[in-house]
Amino acid sequence: MSDAADDRTGTAGDGSVPVGEHADRPGEGDDASRPTLRERRIAAWRGAPRVLARLGFLAPLSERLTLLEAAGGVYDLDETSDIYGNGVVEALEERVARLLGTEAAAFFPTGTMAQQVALRCWAGRTGNPAVALHPLSHPEVHERNAFSQVSGLRPVRVTGEPRLPTAAEVRDAEEPFGALMLELPLRDAGFVLPSWEELTAVVDAAREREAVVHFDGARLWECTEHFGRSLEEIAGLADSVYVSFYKSLDAFGGAALAGPAGLVEEARAWRHRYGGNVFQQFPTALSALIGLERELPRLPEYVRHARVVAAALREGLAAGGLPWFRVHPEAPHTHDFQVWLPYEADVVAEVAIVAAEETGAVLFANYWDPKGPALSCTEVYVRAAALEWTAGDVREAAEDFARRLLRAAEATA
């Protein structure tokens, strides 16, 4: 599954579709117009009156373009457009640096590029190309070995547990490393975060080894509620931080690398070498400024409501008679979390689609990932649309889904 579109929706940046999403594609000679699971799922999500999240990147282009109608409220549109990173792009960089409390920030078209550039710059300074990271971190799972194939970096896996590494694991790592990269939150482990005390201890352990600390903060924006700390305090623990503009802020794309002025200046040179110094980026930059204005202040509210949704989901699935399921984490650390079910992914996906089509309420809008025999997992996203759901609404929908799933499982047994 690619993170290029921040989802389990099959909108992978390389054009791929997750395993199982073509499961209902007819064979040769059948009706070629029959929609795939993915097409049906997205159509049901678009047409449903009630969803937990309206993800902009899946909206029709006509709707997506309306985002820029608010551009005049975040930037002077009489200013000359950007050329190779000036103008509105510079304004965005300055805004990010202020929010994170860093000396500078540089805009990048992708987070993949931003992190490779940051870590190769740190490797030059430390003299060590080894990067300690979790095996479930984004570069290891979703970037096709870009660290080693493109940037001359060598990943060193710190722990295999589905959580962030502990201070002891960092301190006792067998191999030396020049940089420790921490993904906050660790998305593929369930959007999980350590406690503030655990995080500071891990950073201290890296410092003891004379390593720099880089935060993969693609979703750092929504971590403040869990840590009870400001963005500036969180980012201040690291030597450099990457943030994404589309994952939680609903921008068209883009990322930023923030840190010391000298590092950021060198990163700009490498950005050019990597082909990331794009001629004009004003639509993306404007959409990011709009996201910082509109969505950033609301993220703590989404996180709090995600905990309500998760608790109600557990109650509803239990009331519907499911013998086993897992909502992970039980109390979400951010506004995203996982749901695990002991059924084949194609069975669960079909039930979720039909329930959405028939009830107009969508609990599970994302791709169901097969995790083993009769085991599947999906991600649940909670955004502004979810605030219209009460706990009772979620319980009712979850109970209905559970009963439908049990009937479908019996029918296929």
On the 0-12 / 13-18 / 19+ scale of CB atoms within 10 A, 118 is buried
Nearest to 339 by CA among 307, 314, 312: 314
Written as six digits, the tokens of 243 are 């943030």
Say yes or no to pLDDT of 7 above 70: no
Cβ within 8 Å of residue 176, ≥6 positions away:
128, 130, 209
Separation of CA 357 from chain center = 27
Written as six digits, the tokens of 277 are 């110094």
As a whole number, mean pLDDT of residues 67-78 equals 97
Q: Which tens digits make up the pLDDT trace of 138-179?
A: 999 999 999 999 999 999 999 999 999 999 999 999 999 999
As a whole number, mean pLDDT of residues 183-200 equals 98
The amino acid at residue 374 is A
- Bridge partners, 133 (sequence order): 157
* pLDDT band at 24; cut points 50, 70, 90: very low
As a whole number, mean pLDDT of residues 113-122 equals 98
Written as six digits, the tokens of 326 are 């897992």
Q: Among the listed ranges 28-32, 138-142, 212-216, 231-235, which one has the minimum average pLDDT value?
A: 28-32
pTM, two decimals, is 0.92
Cβ within 8 Å of residue 78, ≥6 positions away:
none
* pLDDT band at 31; cut points 50, 70, 90: low
How much is the pLDDT for 33?
Answer: 77
How much is the pLDDT for 30?
Answer: 53
* pLDDT band at 22; cut points 50, 70, 90: very low
The dihedral formed by the CA atoms of 333, 101, 204 and 128, expressed in degrees to the nearest 10: 110
Q: What is the C-alpha to C-alpha distance for residues 109 and 128, in angstroms, rounded to an integer?
A: 26
Say yes or no to pLDDT of 342 above 60: yes
DSSP labels, 118-168: HHHHHHHHHS--EEEE-TTSHHHHHSTTHHHHHS--EEEE---SSSPPPHH
What does DSSP assign to residue 275?
T
Q: What is the C-alpha to C-alpha distance for residues 208 and 173, in angstroms, rounded to an integer?
A: 12
As a whole number, mean pLDDT of residues 2-14 equals 37
